[in-house]
Structures are given as C-alpha cells and as structure tokens.
Amino acid sequence: MRQIGVSLSWNGQDGRKAVRVWVLNVLRVMTVLWLVVHFTLTFLYVLPTNPIQRILEPFLNATIGRYFDQHWDLFAPDPIDTDYALLVRPLSNEELMVVKIKGLPNDGWYDVSSPLWRKQSNLFSAYPRFANGITDATFSYDNEHDQEALKLMVRFASAFCKDIGRSNANYVALMIRERHSSPWPEGNAPKPRVIKTVFVGVYQIDRSMENIHLYRM
C-alpha cells in the first residue's frame, strides 16, 4: 500500500510538472508570435509612405498608432516626391504695360533651375550652392509663403537677367513649377508625372546683383 501511495504521488507531481511545462511553452510561443507581429507592424508604420502602408493604414493607426505611437520615421524624413523649379520672365517697361493690359505672355519664360541641376556633378563649383538655394527658396515660398524666400527668388531672377544680358529688363515675372513624382499605377501602365505651375508675381529687378556667370543663353 505504501508503494502504491508513493507511486500515485509521483504520478501527480509528474502530471502537474508536465502541465506547467506545456503552459510555459505555449506562453513562449505566443510571446514570440506577438513580438514578431508587433515589430512587423511597427516597421510598416515608420516606413515612408508606400502602397502597402496605404492599404494597411486603418489597421496600423488602430493598433500601433493608437497604443504604441511612434515619433520617429525610418529613413526619415519622407523622400522628396516633388521637384521645384523657378521660372523667370524678364520684362521691359513696354512689356510690363502690355502685361497689365493683356496678361502675361506664354513665351519667353526661362527655367533657371534645370541648367544648374545638370551641372551639379562638379561639387567644387558654384552650381550646387545656387541650385540648392533656388530649390530651398521655391519650396519655402510655395509651402509657407515665406517673404524672405520671395526676396531670395527675386535676387536669383535679377542675377539671371543680368547674366543673360537682358539689360533692358526692369521687371521680372516669377512662376514656380511643381513636378510631382509618378503616382503609383493601379495597373501595369505607369502614370505620367503631375506638373503644376504657381504664379508668384511681377517684381522690380534688383540692380545690386552682380553677374554670376552661371548661365549662357
């Protein structure tokens, strides 16, 4: 009888131990799965905007965005998806009078940004500095209507007019061209880039600007 009691006691301990081991294993597996799901969702949440993120956005906002909000971005900031170019139209006194009556002409506009972009490979020249300066100014004015950025654009345009020999131009019309990246195609055919132009205004040329010798027309 004693041997039977001892045997039953050991069987009970072994059973409880087996249950505890099974429960711990289940908890380990569930914890690993939860961590995998959690970090996968976090990774998707902090990625720059992409098609997968847009599809999962409601679920990501309801989970990570609500309970584990992240204040950082992977590869932050989001990649630039718009090219900003400054368009310049020199105007003489006579042309300005015509503009006041008939409006701005469609011809005679110069893209002062693209020539600098194409020459940025020479890192030790003035091209990168001027290209970045124009891009920053057009971006700041287009998004924030920054008056300091506007003054900078007028100075760039004035230097450009002097550089190409438009000594008869006393005014300059400014326009910003936004060229957005191609939208994600719903099918196989790529969509064209969206181009938008924003008229800034007509301003008197700044005669204090020196010839920058960056443009040849």
pLDDT recorded at residue 70: 62
pLDDT of residue 92: 93
> Residue 148 corresponds to which amino acid?
E
Instruction: Look at residue 73 in the predicted model and tell me its pLDDT.
Output: 55
- On whether the CB atoms of residues 148 and 196 are closer than 8 A, the answer is no
- The closest of 132, 85, 138, 139 to 111, measured between CA atoms, is 85
199: left (phi over 0), alpha (psi -120 to 50) or beta: beta
Amino acid at 103: G
Q: Are 155 and 206 in contact (CB under 8 A)?
A: yes
The b-or-e profile of 92-124 (16+ CB within 10 A means b, else e) is eeebeeebeeeeeeeeebbebbebbbeeeeeee
CA 16 – CA 22 distance, rounded (Å): 10
Higher pLDDT, 183 or 211: 211
**What pLDDT score was predicted for residue 135?**
85
Reading the block at residue 138, the tokens are: 């057009």
**Encoding tokens for residue 191?**
């969509």
What are phi and psi for residue 140, nearest 5 degrees? -65, -40
- Which residue has better confidence, 75 or 104? 104
Please give the pLDDT value at position 44.
Answer: 78
The predicted model gives 159-168 an average pLDDT of 86
Per-residue pLDDT for 86 more than 70? yes
The pLDDT of residue 88 is 94
Q: Which residue has the higher pLDDT, 187 or 160?
A: 160
> Residue 176 above 90 pLDDT?
yes
**What residues are paired with 176 via a beta bridge?**
86, 198
| Whether residue 121 has pLDDT greater than 70 | no
Give mean pLDDT, residues 20-43.
86
Average pLDDT of the residues in 69-86: 66
Q: pLDDT band at 119, cuts 50/70/90? A: low
d(CA 47, CA 215): 40
How many Å separate Cα 106 from the centre of its chain? 30
Identity of residue 152 = L
- Can you list the alpha helix ranges (DSSP code H) found in 125-172? 127-144, 147-163
Comparison of pLDDT for 19 and 7, the residue scoring more? 19
Task: Calculate mean pLDDT across residues 197-210.
Answer: 89
Q: Which residues contact 13 (CB under 8 A, 6 or more apart)?
A: none
Task: Extract the tokens encoding 64.
Answer: 């990570």
